[in-house]
Amino acid sequence: MKRYFFRRFRNAVTVGVGALALSIAPTTLADEEVEDRGPYYEDDAWYDISEWFDGNDYNPTDENAGRWDDETYDAYQDNSGDSDNDRWFGFDSRYDDDNWFYDYYDDGDLATFDGDEDGVFEYAYRYVDVDGDGLYDGWYHARDWNRDGEFDTFTFYALNKAASIKGSNPHSASSSQHRSNAMDRTSKRQMVRGTIASTKKVAVRDSKHLCAKVKRNDGSTTFVDLGPVRDLDHLDLDSGAPIVAWGPRTKVGDKSLIVAQKIKANGQTASVDRSLRTVNASVTSTRTVPVRGTTHQLLIVTPRNGKKCAVDVGPVSGNLPSIQTGDKVTLEGTMVRANDRRVLMAKSIEIDGEAFEIERHATATTQTSQGN
């Protein structure tokens, strides 16, 4: 597939029922306001998705959460016993001498967009699994409207009842505490230069990543996710090795983390492959639904396992060519929970050998709610 300016950090994107949006003004955390901006999909348009399927040939959410039936994708060979995607972050009980960083965390499919490649991200988004069932329930969208290096607005899109803004639970997705633990305010791409103090393998959903504690040249310490372990054998990443890493900064619990997009070690510079999962499928039928002032196209597709799935491929007015029943497509995206169905919101789609990126960002109406 073609590569784009849109940087993606593992599986991306979601769709849901009764979605709610919260806009967080660019003030201090204590002053943040949460606003109910109405459903993401209009209720009368997102009718019972069961009508789109025949019989039991769909993927209900009570089967192996977070997976496409048996969680067998083209890019990864996961199995139904994998539970890494059921947790956000934490420690296991195996070792106590490496607790400088978590033993597992969910990267939320962090994605950033830097269209002009000036090192300042126009927007970023990250998904959250509110109830720990392995399927994303909503996502945060951050926007730097004035390109000053700090995100000005944070919008949360709740995709189901589990992610509802109702209630004052500080651990709910709508709370400012939850937001501050999920998204960092800086919109600048970070550079870390220093020496590797130590490394550890960390479970990141369905993969093992190598995380490094880097002692910077100024004496401070920074944590860096260097990407999937399987791709790093050719680099010298042992303790004491010099390293330079570039990427966005995010939050994992109470820790700041650089999610490396590019690293330089042992005289070699390498881009970090954080590609999304891919699946090949045939288009069974198409639908359109209104989404916050625009119209999105939804596909019903059948992958090789025969279990149908709904896929949101973004605004009809986007850059996609006409998609017809019977078309063979390759999709990248993230599975989420929409009512009692899994839905894939595609990050990219390949049709007849040509790949198209699907951009998803806050609508223009969100900008008016920034506040001061």
Q: Where are the domains of the chain?
A: 190-271
Check: CB of residue 41 under 8 Å from CB of residue 159.
Answer: no
pLDDT at position 78, please? Answer: 35
pLDDT at position 31, please? Answer: 38
pLDDT at position 254, please? Answer: 83
Residue 236: what residue type?
D
> Among residues 336, 72, 7, 61, which one has the least CA distance to residue 206?
72
pLDDT at position 41, please? Answer: 56
Instruction: pLDDT tens for the chain, 372 residues: list them.
Output: 433 333 444 333 333 333 334 433 333 333 344 334 444 555 544 444 555 555 555 554 444 434 444 333 333 333 333 333 335 788 876 666 788 999 999 888 888 989 899 999 999 988 888 877 778 888 888 999 999 999 998 888 777 777 765 433 444 554 555 556 567 899 999 999 999 999 999 999 778 999 999 999 899 999 999 999 999 988 989 999 999 999 999 988 889 999 999 999 988 999 998 877 788 999 999 988 777 677 889 999 998 877 888 898 988 877 889 999 999 999 998 888 876 677 888 989 999 889 998 877 655 444 333 433
pLDDT at position 266, please? Answer: 87
Distance CA(9)–CA(106), nearest Å, equals 11
Q: How far is CA 193 from the centre of its chain?
A: 26
Q: What is the DSSP letter of 136?
A: B
At 277, phi and psi to the nearest 5? -65, 150
- CATH number (2.40.50.140, 2.40.37.10, 3.30.499.10, 3.40.190.10) of 190-271 reads 2.40.50.140
> Among residues 37, 142, 19, 85, which one has the least CA distance to residue 277?
85
Residue 342: what residue type?
R
Residue pointed to by tokens 């003004």: 25
Distance CA(280)–CA(287), nearest Å, equals 19
Distance CA(215)–CA(192), nearest Å, equals 9
Q: What is the DSSP letter of 189?
A: P
- Residue 178's SS3 state is helix
> Exposed (0-12), middle (13-18) or buried (19+): which is 259, by Cβ within 10 Å?
buried
Distance CA(232)–CA(230), nearest Å, equals 6
Check: CB of residue 243 under 8 Å from CB of residue 214.
Answer: yes
pLDDT at position 304, please? Answer: 83
